[in-house]
Structure 1
Amino acid sequence: MHILLVDDEPLELEQLEHLLKPRFPHWSFCKATDAASALSAAKSQKISLAFLDIHMPGMDGLTLAAELKALYDLDIIMVTAFQSFDYAQRSIRLGVDDYLTKPVIEAELLATLQKYEKWNAKSDTIQQVLRIIHTDYAEKLSLSSIASEIHMSPTYLSRKFLEEMGIGFADYVTDFRMDIAKQLLVQEPDATISAVAERAGFNSQHYFSSLFRKNTGMTPSAYRQQITVRPGG
């Protein structure tokens, strides 16, 4: 997985990478000290997760987050030395996944990253499969089609995926699509549930809504209403 770290202070970048690398040794890290460099990196390779400093000269982190989201779907964690409700509101509306304050404490960082443990595949083969899933989740994905694409037996790929990821291929795809749907519900409040379901890769709104309720205990509409922070609210 390609991870983007953006901060105008090089020392902050080094510290963040130092905290992340031991826990996620198979991730590939790209560092940038300004928004222009960050956007260039994101256009040259698919970024799965970005850590963005809010306060930077020129384009700030929140504006950069919007620019990155316009390129493609990715997870974003904002990092700032300032605790501001306004920043938190704007981050949520942009579909940012989390919000950390400086100085970054290792325990808080690792707690935030628990959901990404499932991205920590050991082999290049499974990293390649994850990249395909994370890029083409809205398309019709099957174990056999991906196995064919990477020239591997479906049976062997199924076993290797379960062995490395601790979850079956189909369940992983469903969980990832569900995470995307949750982001879209917040990021695009005017989108219909049907549109969200389709964009996240579910071919049936009824199936999506049923699965969403089972996963979260509420309907997609109720989730959107509960999570979204509105101006003045």
Structure 2
Amino acid sequence: MRRVAFEPFEMASLEREFHFHPDYIARCMKRHAGMSPVEYVRHVRVEKARRLLEHSPELSVKQIAEAVGIADPNYFGRLFRKEAGMSPAAYRRLHAGYA
């Protein structure tokens, strides 16, 4: 499996990259994407985790959490449940056989 290296998210990096104040970037993202930059990063990580849960049965939930850049598996479980409406293990069971 190719590991995706997710770096910790920092608003200051957006400021350096786009040359706009972080508050302005956050307002624009909220207006156009419906979520803040931090919410967007979390969403992307959970979507990547969904794909890994569906297509990588050999990986544990802890390994998937680490692969998407979330070091704490307990936090990953809470975040995934909030976004997907079920635990990572339940999501995997639901989608078993559809890989």
Q: Are 1:206 and 2:71 counterparts?
A: no
Q: Which position in structure 2 is the counterpart of 1:184? A: 52
Q: Aligned pairs, how many?
A: 98
Q: Which position in structure 2 is the counterpart of 1:162? A: 30
Q: 1:80-119 to 2 correspondence within 5 Å? A: none
Bigger fraction of residues in strand: 1
Q: Are 1:195 and 2:57 counterparts?
A: no
**1:227 deviation in Å?**
0.2
Task: Give 1:221's aligned amino acid.
Answer: A
The TM-score, its normalising length taken from structure 1, stands at 0.38
Q: Which position in structure 1 is the counterpart of 2:94? A: 226
Q: What is the SS of the residue equivalent to 1:206?
A: helix
Which sections of structure 1, spanning at least 5 residues, go unmatched?
1-68, 74-135
Identity %: 31
Higher Cα Rg, which structure: 1
Which aligned segments of 4 or more residues in structure 1 are displaced greater than 4 angstroms?
Answer: none
Q: What is the SS of the residue equivalent to 1:140?
A: coil
Q: Are 1:153 and 2:8 counterparts?
A: no
Which sections of structure 2, spanning at least 5 residues, go unmatched?
none
State the alpha-carbon separation in 2 of the partners of residues 163 and 182 from structure 1: 26
**1:175 deviation in Å?**
1.1
- When the two chains are superposed, the root-mean-square deviation of aligned CA atoms in Å is 2.3
Can you list the C-alpha shifts for 1:153-190, whole angstroms capped at 9, x where unaligned? Answer: 11221122212212211111111111100001112111
Q: 1:126-145 to 2 correspondence within 5 Å? A: 138-145=6-13
Bigger RCO (CA 8 Å, 6+ sep): 2
State the alpha-carbon separation in 1 of the partners of residues 69 and 18 from structure 2: 21
State the alpha-carbon separation in 2 of the partners of residues 165 and 217 from structure 1: 21
The TM-score, its normalising length taken from structure 2, stands at 0.82
State the alpha-carbon separation in 2 of the partners of residues 226 and 202 from structure 1: 23
